[in-house]
């Protein structure tokens, strides 16, 4: 069974490369059904000798083969699976890792790529429980995903084999990882999944591997992030040691400034007008020295912001987001992060030592007051807030808003507290014509919001209230509090939530949009924003449990929370049965129709 004679290995261990998804699924299923773990390990790592192969076989078992397919929708995928005997009753789950890998590889916004995962079970030759891991990228019409599908089917970046480690412990894992590396498998990433409490270690198969699968996964149940850190360090360029790794991190500030300069020069707008233009032509367009612009373009090409073609340049999907006229433009965000927020981060040490935000230390006042003194800066800040509007896309379909829109007994009212220029309220009212809206904001912001909303179809259903958090309108049906609480410390958050609780009728709902810190310390966007809020506003990001405690202190109870794009969540809260002292109830007779 453990013969070192490679000529005896069955040829069925190599599924044929094909372009048709249904055929690829069938080939993957046949592959999974036929494999013996020891034989497959010997094919993946051709240099294994008998004793080492026996030791590996004792410690891990073949678990699944994975591939990426491109159905028009989930029902079509399930039909394809059923045709191949791969029925799966479990709900498809989002595949965050593959979505971000695809986005990075093809210079796309991850929010535009709907990648799901299904694991239909397939029995092994002796009845072992195995699976075909199916990643599915929906080919939505007009999404541009057809080119991604063509390249991915040809290159099979996401296809891999997986072996599950039996009874993993740190010593066993380090030994297995060392064996794979010793026989030419190169570390290729990995991660810890807190939802299933499992750790994944990826490898690129050695050049001599005898299967068409070029990636291999080792899966270990449990939290083995200490071993994972060693694995990930080994996966970096072999020429990059600790000093090079640190240098790469230290130069992150250069990336921020390069992107801000690209936006400030309006280079994306110039490339929109003149796609394929060369350095000299672009320098004339944006008013720059050709030599300096060439250096910047070289760096932006490395970042994937522009691409060089035929002696000229074109924008990538990433670079297009820095064009002011692009849908969901992030130009204002680049100017804010490369401008006042960048300068305030130069005082992060002061913040960590004293607790005073670096922004206040630099400018002598908090950022809300500072922006209020400069209409141009305030407008840029409001635009930068709208640049993250992609997180709002699923929110109008939240069950609370759907229920309000379909309820009998007259129009329901949605109150957006500190809603900026009305981006979120516009989306909610556009999705639900039966709803009316109220926007509460500072007077200087309200004028821009009124002009924006009045120009669209929702303007006739929206009222505007100038004020602060003490002026939360009473009697609404749904209250929105989006990206507000993270600006403040806990005591100020309690003040805001008490005003909300006092204004809310007993059956009203509160929807809070914030990034949530992971309870287990896993990497997240919220961790970066936590540092940003501390340095610039004196606020913080919080865990779901932290928000639940703040709500409870103010007579509100957490009902639940659901994920949104860009690392955000919607937290749903309602009035508690009893309000704490200091929070006044609003009686039904105090309902105010907001003049609508």
Give the residue numbers annotated as catalytic, written as ranges.
486
Residues 6+ apart with CB under 8 A from 460: none
Paired strand residues for 144: none
CA–CA distance, 202 with 162 (Å, rounded to integer): 9
Q: CA torsion angle for 438, 442, 444, 448 (degrees, to 10)?
A: -30
Radius of gyration of the chain (CA): 28
Nearest one of 81, 150, 70 to 113, comparing CA atoms: 70
Question: First vs last Cα of the chain: how many Å apart?
Answer: 80
CA–CA distance, 76 with 67 (Å, rounded to integer): 17
Q: What angle do CA 113, 116, 118 make, to 5 degrees?
A: 160
3-state SS of 328-382 is CCCHHHHHHHCCHHHHHHCCHHHHHHHCCCHHHHHHCCCHHHHHHCCHHHHHHHH
Q: CA torsion angle for 148, 149, 150, 156 (degrees, to 10)?
A: 100
- SS3 at position 116: strand
Question: Burial code of 541-566, b = ≥16 C-beta within 10 A, e = fewer?
Answer: bbebebbbebbebbbbebeebeebbe
CA–CA distance, 468 with 496 (Å, rounded to integer): 10
């Amino acid at each position: 069974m453990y013969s070192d004679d490679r000529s005896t290995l069955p040829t069925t261990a190599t599924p044929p490369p094909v372009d048709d998804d249904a055929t690829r699924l069938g080939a993957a299923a046949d592959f999974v059904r036929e494999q013996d773990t020891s034989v497959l390990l010997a094919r993946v790592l051709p240099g294994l000798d008998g004793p080492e192969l026996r030791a590996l076989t004792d410690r891990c078992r073949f678990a699944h083969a994975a591939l990426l397919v491109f159905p028009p929708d989930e029902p079509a995928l399930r039909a394809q699976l059923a045709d191949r005997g791969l029925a799966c009753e479990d709900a498809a789950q989002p595949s965050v890792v593959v979505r971000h890998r695809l986005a990075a590889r093809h210079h796309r916004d991850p929010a535009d790529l709907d990648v799901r995962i299904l694991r239909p079970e397939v029995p092994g030759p002796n009845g072992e429980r195995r699976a075909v891991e199916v990643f599915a990228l929906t080919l939505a019409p007009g999404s541009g995903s057809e080119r991604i599908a063509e390249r991915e089917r040809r290159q099979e970046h996401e296809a891999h084999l997986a072996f599950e480690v039996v009874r993993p412990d740190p010593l066993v894992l380090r030994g297995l990882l060392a064996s794979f590396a010793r026989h030419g498998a190169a570390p290729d990433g990995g991660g810890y999944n807190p939802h299933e409490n499992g750790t994944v270690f990826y490898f690129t198969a050695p050049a001599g591997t005898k299967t068409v699968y070029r990636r291999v996964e080792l899966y270990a149940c449990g939290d083995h992030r200490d071993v994972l850190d060693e694995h990930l360090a080994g996966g970096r360029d072999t020429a990059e040691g600790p000093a090079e790794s640190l240098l790469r991190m230290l130069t992150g500030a250069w990336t921020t400034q390069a992107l801000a300069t690209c936006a400030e020069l309006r280079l994306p707008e110039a490339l929109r007008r003149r796609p394929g233009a060369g350095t000299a032509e672009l320098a004339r367009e944006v008013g720059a020295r050709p030599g300096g612009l060439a250096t910047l373009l070289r760096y932006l090409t490395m970042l994937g912001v522009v691409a060089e073609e035929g002696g000229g340049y074109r924008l990538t999907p990433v670079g297009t987001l820095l064009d002011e006229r692009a849908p969901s433009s992030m130009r204002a965000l680049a100017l804010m992060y490369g401008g006042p927020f960048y300068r305030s981060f130069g005082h992060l040490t002061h913040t960590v030592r004293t607790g005073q935000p670096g922004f206040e230390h630099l400018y002598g006042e908090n950022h809300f007051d500072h922006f209020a003194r400069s209409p141009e800066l305030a407008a840029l800040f409001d635009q930068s807030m709208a640049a993250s509007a992609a997180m709002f896309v699923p929110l109008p379909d939240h069950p609370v808003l759907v229920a309000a829109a379909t309820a009998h007994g007259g129009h329901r009212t949605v109150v957006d507290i500190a809603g900026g220029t009305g981006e979120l309220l516009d989306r909610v009212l556009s999705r639900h014509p039966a709803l009316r809206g109220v926007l509460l904001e500072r007077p200087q912001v309200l004028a821009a919001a009124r002009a924006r909303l009045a120009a669209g179809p929702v303007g006739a259903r929206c009222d505007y209230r100038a004020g602060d958090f003490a002026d939360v309108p009473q009697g609404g049906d749904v209250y929105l509090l989006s990206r507000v609480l993270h600006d403040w410390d806990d005591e100020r958050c309690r003040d805001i939530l008490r005003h909300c609780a006092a204004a809310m009728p007993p059956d009203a709902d509160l929807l809070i949009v914030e990034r949530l810190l992971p309870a287990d310390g896993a990497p997240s966007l919220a961790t970066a924003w936590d540092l940003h809020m501390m340095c610039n506003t004196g606020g913080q990001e919080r865990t779901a449990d932290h928000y639940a405690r703040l709500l409870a202190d103010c007579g509100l109870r957490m009902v639940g929370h659901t994920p949104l794009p860009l690392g955000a969540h919607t937290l749903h809260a309602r009035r508690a049965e009893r309000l704490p002292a200091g929070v006044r109830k609003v009686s039904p007779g105090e309902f105010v129709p907001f003049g609508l």
